[in-house]
Structure 1
Amino acid sequence: MPSVATETRRSAIVDLAHEGLANVETLASRFDVSPSTIRRDLAILTTEGRIARTYGGAIPIGAHSESTLRQRMDEAHSAKVAIGQWAATQVATGDTVLLDVGSTVGALAAALAGARGLTVITASLTVVTELSDAGGVVVECLGGRLRPMSQGFLGPLTEAALERVSADAVFLGTDGISDEGEICEADLGQVRLKELMVRRAERVYVLAHGEKIGARPFHAWFRIPLPWTIVTDTTAPTERVAALRARGVQVVVVDETQGSRSPTTTESVE
């Protein structure tokens, strides 16, 4: 049985996970123990069902349940199609683009299937599937460890491959965007990969349907250096869009009611 001190520390770790402070290094410093002791605590707490492990730390079990990519495919479908169609207009013949994981980025890949003279670099199985028969598109795949929830690759092998390429533009997915312009993800490995993608591209777009604007479902974050663009739809809360524009982020609002026609947009004035 664990000692009273050990059980007290583990209970405190569960409490800190609810506050978003369950990072291995932070916990080791707080409790004056080694990182390996904290990792052992986290492993035991995960086995007991008291927390859920993340890359480098933990989150509370009840914080938010991450949906699989398959579950997300039908959510806000018309909005995602419209966002993907608008994003495709930002890609020119001869471009090299980085495409992230996610259902909205998958909609962009579908919109690019008829392109010519385009190179797509991706770690997403969804993107590969959408473009597998696209004769005018060269698809470069970033290998690595498959993350089944997102149907994408990540980890050291993916990052090493990414360091050897550059792109005219990157199109990212996200689990949420704060009013401060921070990008939220369920996994720190995904955060790391997105940061590297941003560094390798000249232009940055984040594709997020309206429900993700202002959402903060998880505890892994990063901030994109200005300038960059959010592409969303008309369900995005106007006050959230205004807050982002006030911070210098360009926001494109796509009118998804246009159906198969070219979607109309409302853009920020810089």
Structure 2
Amino acid sequence: MSRQRSSQRRDQIVQMAASNGLASVEELSAKLGVTPSTIRRDLALLTTQGKLARTYGGALSLEPHPEASLRQRLGEAYAAKRAIAAWAAEQIVPGESVLLDAGSTTAALAQILTGFTNLSVSTIGLTALEVLAEAEHLEVVLLGGRLRTLSQSFVGPVTESALERMSFDRAFMGADGVRADRGINEKDLEQTRLKELMMSRADHVYVLVHGAKLGQAPFHAWAVMPPRWTLVTDDSAPHDEVAKFRDKGIQVVIVEPASTGAA
């Protein structure tokens, strides 16, 4: 029975390391109710088995991170995403051309934009397109290409070719993770290359992410950020992570989900 409990605990450790990116000895000890020395022995065994890579104070998962589908993400942090989207919509001036990335927060922004007039909205996101399709008073442009089913987004050379012929006043981007020192994190290089192109075509760039995504790096593909951009998040964002962005000279807007105010 003790051996079974140990095996279950180690499985939990791998799952926690995979979901959080990094699991500290202290955190694992507190959550699993065992001593730090027990955790260290577990980590040593999991490292030997090739399931973890030891780091200072903890471990990094070597198992592939599962990419959540857009459908799974639509219900996460709904109030925060809605508030972030509302702030983003307030930045848009009538007559502008805006570009929407794929994602649940940009889909929330698309819903708000259906109430606008005199606006051109381009998107690579199928979910945003479905929202905007009935808005007859908007000019809606789909940047087609190969459909990436999990993210419900269009990618590839056809999408990139269309972008190279366009420019935008504002681009609103999503991310699987975002770090001050590396930029936007996504599942693969095809996505990050496209995001870099999208941002290069806009005068103003906004990255819209709820607080849990700050400092996260679930994958190994990165989009390099333009010289100037704005991070828009909610008040659940860790203060130390927010400070890292501000220390880099990046403008950070913190929106309160209970209202549309920003700080």
How large is the RMSD of aligned CA atoms in angstroms? 1.6
Amino acid at match of 1:192: R
What SS does the corresponding residue of 1:232 show, helix, strand or coil? Answer: strand
What SS does the corresponding residue of 2:95 show, helix, strand or coil? Answer: coil
Amino acid at match of 1:250: Q
Tell me the equivalent position of 1:42. none
How far does the alpha carbon of each residue in 1:147-206 deviate from its partner, in whole angstroms, 9 at most, with x for none? 001101000000001111100010000011113251101121110111101111000000
Change (3 A) 1:124 1:148: same
For structure 2, the 5+ residue unaligned runs are 1-50, 52-60
How far does the alpha carbon of each residue in 1:11-58 deviate from its partner, in whole angstroms, 9 at most, with x for none? xxxxxxxxxxxxxxxxxxxxxxxxxxxxxxxxxxxxxxx9xxxxxxxx
Tell me the equivalent position of 1:253. 254
Cα distance in structure 2, aligned partners of 1:181 and 1:133: 38
Query: Relative to structure 2, which stretch is displaced further, 225-234 or 177-186?
Result: 177-186
Tell me the equivalent position of 2:159. 158
1:264 aligns with 2:261: yes
Amino acid at match of 1:93: P
Q: TM-score, normalised by structure 2?
A: 0.75
Moved over 6 A (4+): none
- Write the mapping of 1:1-270 to structure 2, written as runs, cut at 5 A: 62-258=63-259, 263-266=260-263
What SS does the corresponding residue of 1:64 show, helix, strand or coil? Answer: coil
What SS does the corresponding residue of 2:262 show, helix, strand or coil? Answer: strand
Q: TM-score, normalised by structure 1?
A: 0.74
Cα distance in structure 1, aligned partners of 2:151 and 2:123: 13
Instruction: Give the number of equivalent residue pairs.
Output: 205
What SS does the corresponding residue of 2:206 show, helix, strand or coil? Answer: strand
Identity of aligned residues (%): 50
For structure 1, the 5+ residue unaligned runs are 1-49, 51-59
Cα distance in structure 1, aligned partners of 2:227 and 2:255: 21
Contact 1:178–1:216 (CA<8 Å) still a contact in 2?
yes
Deviation at 1:61, TM superposition (A): 7.3
Deviation at 1:134, TM superposition (A): 1.2
Contact 1:101–1:124 (CA<8 Å) still a contact in 2?
yes
Contact 1:226–1:248 (CA<8 Å) still a contact in 2?
no
Deviation at 1:62, TM superposition (A): 1.8
Cα distance in structure 1, aligned partners of 2:152 and 2:91: 25
Deviation at 1:78, TM superposition (A): 0.5
Cα distance in structure 2, aligned partners of 1:222 and 1:72: 21
